[in-house]
Amino acid sequence: MLAGTGVIDAMAQAFEDSAAQDLDERLMRALEAGDAAGGDRRGKQSAALKIVAGEDYPLLDLRVDEHAQPVAELRRVLAVARRQLVPFVAGMPRKDGPAGALPDAVTAMLLRAPAERPGGARDGGPAGAPDLLRDVVGLREEPGRVAHLLAQFAPVLAEIARLRDLDLADIHPPVVFDPTLPYRRMPHDDRRD
């Protein structure tokens, strides 16, 4: 289903040329090279990047579906994940021993709203909210169809915008998942019965 053998050759060359980079970057460059060389002859729709090591969870698991430029969008998502997800996953327990507590900086980052986190809209990420139909859904500029869909989905888009602006901290205090909690020794664990 590839546009030609040049797709594989371009991907292999990009992977080899980036040997000094981290694995996520090497794989991303290979995807970009394959996309630039023609990619899938049927067109573009999705892209994914998953890195699994010896743990029960992936170190990185990113996916973009139903997008006009999925590889470019995956590059953007990877940049955000490096600043938000990767530090969190690094603090998770490992098979070779429990992890320590999450660093204070990671906990503080996770308590902030997504737009205020590193790579978010307010931190040099995409300027402003994305155009939901073009940037998120991936619809091309077809004025008649876009106008029709906007009219159909206007109430849903308005509710999404309202929910994004809602500050739940006034209703419920923030809860942070600490993956190390089950592995911590409590003071009462040292006593003998």
pLDDT one-digit tens code per residue, 122-165? 655 544 444 444 554 455 555 666 677 667 777 877 787 777 77
Q: Residue 106, exposed/middle/buried by CB under 10 A (0-12, 13-18, 19+)?
A: middle
Q: How confident is the model at residue 21 (pLDDT cuts 50, 70, 90)?
A: very high
Q: Is the pLDDT of residue 105 over 90?
A: no
Nearest to 23 by CA among 48, 51, 47, 55: 51
Nearest to 28 by CA among 40, 16, 14: 14
Side chain identity at 123, as an amino acid letter?
D
User: Given CA atoms 143, 146, 149, 153 in this order, what sign does their dihedral have?
Assistant: negative
Q: How confident is the model at residue 172 (pLDDT cuts 50, 70, 90)?
A: low
Check residue 114 and give its pLDDT.
78
pLDDT one-digit tens code per residue, 52-72? 988 888 999 999 999 999 999
Mean pLDDT confidence for 6-16: 95
- What is the residue extent of each domain of the chain? 5-190
Check residue 18 and give its pLDDT.
94
Nearest to 59 by CA among 21, 31, 89: 89
Is the CB of residue 30 less than 8 Å from the CB of residue 15? yes
Check residue 27 and give its pLDDT.
96
Check residue 149 and give its pLDDT.
66
Long-range contacts of 70-76 (CB under 8 A, 24+ apart): 70/44, 70/45, 70/46, 70/138, 71/31, 71/32, 71/35, 71/39, 71/44, 71/47, 73/47, 74/28, 74/31, 74/47, 74/48, 74/49, 75/28, 75/32, 76/126
Q: What percent of the chain has pLDDT over 70?
A: 70
C-alpha to C-alpha distance for 133 and 130, rounded to whole angstroms:
9
